[in-house]
Amino acid sequence: MYNFKRLEDLTFTDDFMFSQVMKNKEICKEVVETILGIKVGRIEFLTSQYEIEIDPEAKTIAMDVYLRDEKKIINVEMQTGHRLELPKRSRYYQAASDIDNTPPSGLYSEMRDNYVIFICTFDPFLQGKAFYKFENICLDCEQPLRLNDGTYKIFLNTSAKDLTLLDRELKLFYDYICNGEIDSRLTERINNSITKIKQDRERGENI
């Protein structure tokens, strides 16, 4: 059974509100930069619930937030459940977006870096970490040897107790996700956007 919420009760972690807020390029850009710790260039494409159908007989996916700049493809998902499927789901999303962005005549060297980000309200790997970043590396070398294929999978555990390894802005973002605390420019902009969305939409009690 689905648990329907009234519009006035929706928060940033709800699919509808998350997608609506992240349609704002400036907010979306700031969220991504806060998570990744790198700059996002001029956003060329930004949409929510972006569907990719690789083949009529293959699984179609709908990405919460999907954006591109001149060098990167970035998919951002808000996740409040289904922990066990996330690793392979991230694999499929990354493969699908690579295919979607590589024309038949394209060179492999021209492929953009590909980031999949899951903002989880739980610990997806039960290791107690606040931030999990995965890259392809060789396990048979004494020193880590990165494949440097430009693919990155990021999982945020916003429920983590120990946030000491996060920088200040990311900590404040976690606090907003978990507790609704508004203590930074980004969280204030997100909260103001949510308020405006609720005021602007003329809807019934349930959505």
Q: Name the domain count of the chain.
A: 1
* Interval 179-207 mean pLDDT: 85
| Structural domain includes residue 21 | yes
| Structural domain includes residue 206 | no
| Structural domain includes residue 205 | no
Give the rounded percent of residues in the chain with a pLDDT score beyond 90: 81
pLDDT in tens, 22-41: 999 999 999 999 999 999 99
CA dist list (Å): 97 to 19, 176, 188: 18, 29, 31
Whether the pLDDT of residue 85 is over 70: the answer is yes
- pLDDT bracket for residue 82 (50, 70, 90): confident
Under 8 Å between Cβ of 87 and 57: no
Whether the pLDDT of residue 3 is over 70: the answer is no
Q: Which domain range does residue 156 map to?
A: 7-200
- pLDDT bracket for residue 59 (50, 70, 90): confident
pLDDT in tens, 105-136: 999 999 999 999 999 999 999 999 999 999 99
| Structural domain includes residue 56 | yes
- pLDDT bracket for residue 7 (50, 70, 90): confident
pLDDT of 205 reads: 42
Cα atoms in the 13 Å half-sphere on the side-chain side of 3: 4
As given in the structure block, the two tokens for residue 119 are 């903002």
| Structural domain includes residue 207 | no
pLDDT of 202 reads: 60
Model-wide pTM > 0.85: yes
| Structural domain includes residue 127 | yes
| Structural domain includes residue 1 | no
Closest CA to 30 of 177, 176, 192, 173: 173
pLDDT of 203 reads: 52
| Structural domain includes residue 2 | no
DSSP per residue, 25-83: HHHHHHHHHHHHSS-----SEEEEEEEE-SSTTSPPEEEEEEEE-SSEEEEEEEESS--
